[in-house]
C-alpha cells in the first residue's frame, strides 16, 4: 500500500522553501548524528494520498472500516449502532481541541454565548460523560473536545474524531487546536499561529511506528487558514499574535530542554544552544501535540490550524511561575481569536 515518495519541494506562507518528507528524513539523520541521538531503525516514507475531499466530506483512509458492521468509538463512548451520529453531529463545521477538559468546557460555553445560541450555556452537557478519557461539548456548529497531554493521547482522540465526522457525514469541517506552549524568544502571552509543526529535529514530519516500521508523514498545515487566523489576530486589540513554527516534543521536561525535571543530563549552555538552534529554524513555541494533529488532518484532507499561547519565554526560564489568574487569561487568548474567526465565517460580525 505504501510506496516511496518522489521528493518535491514546496514554498510556504513565509516564502521559505519547504523540503520534501524524504529530504527531511535525510536531514533528520544528520541532525540526529550532530545531536548524538539514536537514529530510527527504519524510515519508510508513505505516500498516502491527501486528495481533496469529495464535496467536502470527511474521508477516512482505512478500507477495513467498510467491512465493519458497527464502529465503536470506545474512548468517546459513542458508536454507529448505539447513536445516530449524523443527527447528533451532521451540522458540525468547526472542531476545536485542547488538552484540558475544563478549558474545552469553558470554550464551549464561551462560543455558545458568542454565537448567541438559544438556551443556557450552563446546560451544555459532556457528550462523552460515559467515559472519563475525553470530554466533548457541542455548541451549534462548533464541537469542543479535550485531548489530554501528548502525542499518544491526542492521536487516539483524532482517530475517533475523524471517524466520527465521517460517520456523521459532516462537510467542510475546519479543525483547530487551541493550546498552551512555551515561547522561544517571545513575550509570555503571545499567541502563536503555527506555520509549520516540526519535530524535535526541527523537521516538518511526524514519525509513527506501524507494524514495527517507521512511517513518516508530512505535518504541513493549511497556509491560507493560518494567514486568515493571523489577520483575525491583528483585528483584535491587545492580542499579540505571530506566525511561526511550532516544535512538538514527546516530553515536557527533558524533551523540551528543561533544567527542572526529575532527570537532567545537560548544562544550561546545552539547553540555550538547542533553543538558539530551534529559533534559527523558525521555531517560536514548543508544545506536545501539533505534529500528529497536523499529520492526521493532512492525510484525511481536513483543513487544520494550531493556535497556542505562550506561557513563558524558554530563553528566560523553565518553571511556570505566572500567577494562576494570568495563566487563565492567557489560555483565553486563542479562544478569542477562534471565536472571531468562526463568527466571521458564519457572517455574525457586526
Ligand X SMILES: O=P(O)(O)O[C@@H]1C[C@H](O)[C@@H](CO)O1
Q: Choose from ligand URA, ligand X, none: what does 334 bind? Cβ within 5-8 Å by kind.
A: none
68 CB contacts (<8 Å, ≥6 apart)? Answer: none
- State which residue, 99 or 183, has the beta carbon closest to ligand X: 99
**Binder among 181, 196, 205, 246 for ligand URA (CB under 6 A):** 181
Asked if residue 282 binds ligand X (CB under 6 A), the reply is no
Asked if residue 287 binds ligand X (CB under 6 A), the reply is yes
Return d(Cα 57, Cα 207) in angstroms, integer: 26
Asked if residue 252 binds ligand URA (CB under 6 A), the reply is yes
Q: Choose from ligand URA, ligand X, none: what does 256 bind? Cβ within 5-8 Å by kind.
A: ligand URA
- Residue 347: left if φ>0, alpha if ψ -120 to 50, beta else—which one? left
Asked if residue 182 binds ligand URA (CB under 6 A), the reply is yes
Return d(Cα 178, Cα 146) in angstroms, integer: 10
Lookup: cell for 323: 500567577
**Binder among 157, 161, 247, 288 for ligand X (CB under 6 A):** 288
- Give kind and range of the element (H or E) at residue 234: helix 223-235
* Minimum CB–partner distance for residue 251 and ligand URA (Å): 9
Return d(Cα 153, Cα 134) in angstroms, integer: 9
Q: Is 284 annotated as a binding residue?
A: no
Asked if residue 161 binds ligand X (CB under 6 A), the reply is no
**Binder among 12, 24, 180, 194 for ligand X (CB under 6 A):** 180
Return d(Cα 135, Cα 126) in angstroms, integer: 6
Sign of CA pseudo-dihedral 283, 233, 344, 331: positive
- State which residue, 223 or 313, has the beta carbon closest to ligand URA: 313
* Minimum CB–partner distance for residue 197 and ligand X (Å): 12
Asked if residue 311 binds ligand URA (CB under 6 A), the reply is yes
Dump strand ranges (E) for 111-240: 136-139, 142-146, 174-183, 191-198, 205-210, 213-218
The number of residues that bind ligand URA (CB under 6 A) is: 9
* Minimum CB–partner distance for residue 277 and ligand X (Å): 21
Task: Fill in the DSSP letter of residue 67.
Answer: G
- State which residue, 140 or 255, has the beta carbon closest to ligand X: 255
Asked if residue 99 binds ligand X (CB under 6 A), the reply is yes
- State which residue, 23 or 100, has the beta carbon closest to ligand X: 100
By C-alpha distance, which of 226, 250, 206, 249 is closest to 306? Answer: 226
170 CB contacts (<8 Å, ≥6 apart)? Answer: 57, 58, 89, 90, 91, 92, 93
Q: Is 16 annotated as a binding residue?
A: no
Asked if residue 288 binds ligand URA (CB under 6 A), the reply is yes
Interface residues with ligand X (CB under 6 A) are: 98-100, 149-150, 179-180, 252, 287-289
Interface residues with ligand URA (CB under 6 A) are: 180-182, 252, 256, 286-288, 311
Which amino acids are annotated as binding site, given as ranges?
133, 177-180, 256, 258
Amino acid at each position: 500500500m505504501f510506496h516511496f515518495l518522489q521528493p518535491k519541494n514546496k514554498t510556504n506562507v513565509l516564502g521559505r522553501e519547504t523540503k520534501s518528507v524524504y529530504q527531511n528524513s535525510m536531514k533528520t539523520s544528520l541532525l540526529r548524528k550532530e545531536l548524538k541521538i539514536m537514529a530510527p531503525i527504519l524510515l519508510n516514507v508513505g505516500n498516502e494520498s491527501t486528495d481533496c475531499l469529495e464535496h467536502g466530506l470527511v474521508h477516512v483512509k482505512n478500507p477495513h472500516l467498510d467491512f465493519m458492521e458497527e464502529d465503536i468509538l470506545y474512548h468517546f463512548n459513542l458508536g454507529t449502532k448505539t447513536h445516530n451520529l449524523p443527527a447528533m453531529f451532521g451540522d458540525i463545521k468547526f472542531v476545536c481541541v485542547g488538552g484540558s477538559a475544563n478549558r474545552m468546557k469553558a470554550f464551549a460555553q464561551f462560543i455558545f454565548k458568542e454565537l448567541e445560541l438559544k438556551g443556557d450555556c450552563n446546560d451544555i452537557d459532556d457528550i462523552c460523560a460515559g467515559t472519563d478519557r475525553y470530554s466533548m461539548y457541542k455548541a451549534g456548529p462548533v464541537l469542543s473536545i479535550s485531548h489530554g497531554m501528548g502525542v499518544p493521547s491526542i492521536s487516539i482522540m483524532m482517530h475517533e474524531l475523524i471517524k466520527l465526522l465521517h460517520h456523521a457525514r459532516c462537510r467542510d469541517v475546519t479543525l483547530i487546536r487551541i493550546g498552551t506552549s512555551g515561547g522561544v524568544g517571545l513575550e509570555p502571552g503571545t499567541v502563536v499561529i503555527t506555520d509549520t509543526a516540526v519535530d524535535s529535529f526541527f523537521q516538518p514530519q511526524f514519525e509513527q511506528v506501524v507494524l514495527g516500521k517507521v512511517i513518516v508523514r508530512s505535518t504541513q498545515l493549511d497556509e491560507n487558514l493560518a494567514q486568515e487566523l493571523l489577520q483575525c489576530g491583528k483585528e483584535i486589540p491587545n492580542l499579540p499574535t505571530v506566525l511561526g513554527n511550532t516544535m512538538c516534543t514527546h516530553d515536557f521536561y527533558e524533551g523540551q530542554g528543561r533544567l527542572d525535571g526529575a532527570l537532567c543530563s545537560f548544562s544550561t549552555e546545552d539547553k540555550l544552544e538547542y533553543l538558539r538552534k530551534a529559533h534559527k529554524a523558525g521555531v517560536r513555541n514548543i508544545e506536545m501535540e501539533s505534529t500528529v494533529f497536523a499529520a492526521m488532518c493532512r492525510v484525511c484532507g481536513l483543513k487544520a490550524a494550531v493556535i497556542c499561547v505562550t506561557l513563558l519565554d524558554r530563553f528566560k526560564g523553565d518553571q511556570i511561575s505566572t500567577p494562576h489568574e494570568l495563566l487563565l487569561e492567557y489560555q483565553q487568548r486563542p479562544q478569542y481569536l477562534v471565536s472571531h474567526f468562526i463568527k466571521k465565517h458564519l457572517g455574525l460580525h457586526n
